[in-house]
A and B are shown apart, each in its own frame.
Chain A
């Protein structure tokens, strides 16, 4: 805090009031409500609630579709992180090293960031369509008959590709700025010590990028968990069927499609606990890193 401050009671309360009001009404209240409803089974029309204790939780975590969705979410998140961080880093390293054209490359590689996930999903669903999709033809050329919407893992593959694609620019931007933040003197010293560029990268440059990488990992996990909703929703084409869904999508399915308010809330609370743990880990390891949610 500042050593020099204003005094008075009314001004600060007035200033902070809008934020507090929004937080209380649209954050604390719903969060508390989620916890409360998770212990009840509710009739959708009248909201008549029957207290069922932890039944909703037990029901959620023992249902095979929930476990399947959890397993898929794990694979999905890992794959998105690996693909989008990998490509982001690769492009950033190359863009950092080229002498000419860095600017245009940078622009062309980053602008996909501004595309909304469902819009990416719409393009993806057409590229991977069984009847009109060029990517299906492409993979058929290599003998892989890709059946999105029919085969569970084929659909999972399509979703992962689209979701990871959309996240590459973000990682690219951060890695590039991280690389450019490495002091020149350090690199020159490294260049003298270690002639192999590959070894130089892994022994000198990459460790310096570690904080950026860790921060990006957390952001990418959050992205893969939550912001892929739009991609999944569009790529399912209205029927979950035998298609993979993430845990967040399942909260939506059970709550809004199935009208099972208690079950959906219990799943929300499980996710809340997960996110809190993730955030605690994040703050333990890197201070003062804040992301948009």
Chain B
């Protein structure tokens, strides 16, 4: 699978080479560079602005927001608001606080990422390294999952999960989402690109199928596994529709699911707690954003190469 664009990306030039290539018409360069920076600064403003204003508003008290609208600057209510949102067992009932919802999101993100990676590796390994009756059928059945996103079969999926008694469980929350076989396809492509000689050498050394997988294939794929893991964690953390339907017990709410509850309080209450709603939004985006920023290189590599 590492195809043309993968190889090409690898030999992308250094910034210095790039500069040399374009240094010729100096004047035009300066103007175009002003233009480029202008556009990029506008872009940064466009992408950051809404989030910044959401964060700064969350530090004001709700009455000020209700009166004057969303606010820039520092409202001085940061500690009390985030303390309430994280620790006070309130909001809609007395059972749940932000911390518990963050924990549930973590379970969801990790469970989804681990589940997806493990299941996919095993299935892809079977498809690539074994010849067995039914392999083609299995392949096409798995392939068919790519045709229908969860959203279009949401009602029957819900009914199936309900009839299995899995509503309001972590299993019901996570496992149905793993059904989509994107991970399997990625690992299948990757395994196919692994040189044949490796397997031959391993067999000469007497490795059986399990040892080959554990000792050779998995270590070889570890960067890819990590990249997939990061992407899947973000995807899992950000799930909304499925948790919204699946969980009616507040003890299982993820923080993204909690947004729906915030909206309800907002619709019904008199002076809505804008600050707490925005604080919860900030908390909901923080973990996935941090992971994406910290593991940026790996994340981009994973995204670009697996999506192709």
Contacts and interface: CB of A to CB of B under 8 A. Distances in A.
Touch between A and B in complex, CB under 8 Å? yes
- Majority-rule SS of A interface residues: helix
Interface in A88-136: 90-91, 94-95, 97-102, 105-119, 121-127, 131-134
B300 A177 contact: yes
A261 B155 CA distance: 8
Interface string B285-308: 100110111001000100110111
B262 interface: yes
Which residue, of A98, A112, A119, A252, has the highest number of chain B Cβ atoms within 10 A? A119
A9 B288 CA distance: 41
A34 B40 contact: no
A1 B192 CA distance: 7
B12 A181 contact: yes
Interface in A1-58: 1-9, 11-13, 15-16, 18-20, 22-31, 33-34, 37
Contact of B175 (A20, A26, A37): A26
A188 B307 contact: no
B53 A23 contact: no
A7 B131 contact: yes
B215 interface: no
B175 A22 contact: yes
Majority secondary structure of chain B interface residues (helix, strand, loop or mixed): helix
Given A290-B182, A290-B186, A268 B153 contact: yes
Interface residues of A, number: 116
A113 B289 CA distance: 8
A165 interface: yes
Interface in B1-50: 1, 3-5, 8-9, 11-13, 15, 17-19, 21-22, 24, 28, 32-33, 35-37, 39-40, 43-44, 46-48, 50
B18 to A, nearest CB: 7
Nearest to A117: B240
Interface in B223-257: 231, 234-235, 237-241, 244-245, 256
Given A116-B285, A234-B259, A271-B152, A2 B245 contact: no
B195 to A, nearest CB: 10
Contacts of B237: 116
B47 A230 contact: no
Interface stretch (A62-70, A72-80, A168-176): A168-176
Given A15-B125, A26-B178, A91-B40, 13 more contacts: A6-B212, A22-B175, A25-B164, A30-B157, A108-B44, A109-B43, A110-B292, A116-B237, A184-B13, A184-B21, A191-B21, A264-B155, A268-B153
Interface of A: 1-9, 11-13, 15-16, 18-20, 22-31, 33-34, 37, 87, 90-91, 94-95, 97-102, 105-119, 121-127, 131-134, 137, 165, 168-169, 173-174, 177-178, 180-184, 187-188, 191, 197, 212, 215, 219, 222, 225-226, 229-230, 233-234, 237-238, 248, 251-252, 255-256, 261, 264-265, 268, 271-272, 275-276, 279, 288-293
10 contacts: A6-B209, A33-B156, A34-B152, A113-B292, A122-B277, A134-B69, A165-B47, A184-B21, A291-B307, A292-B231
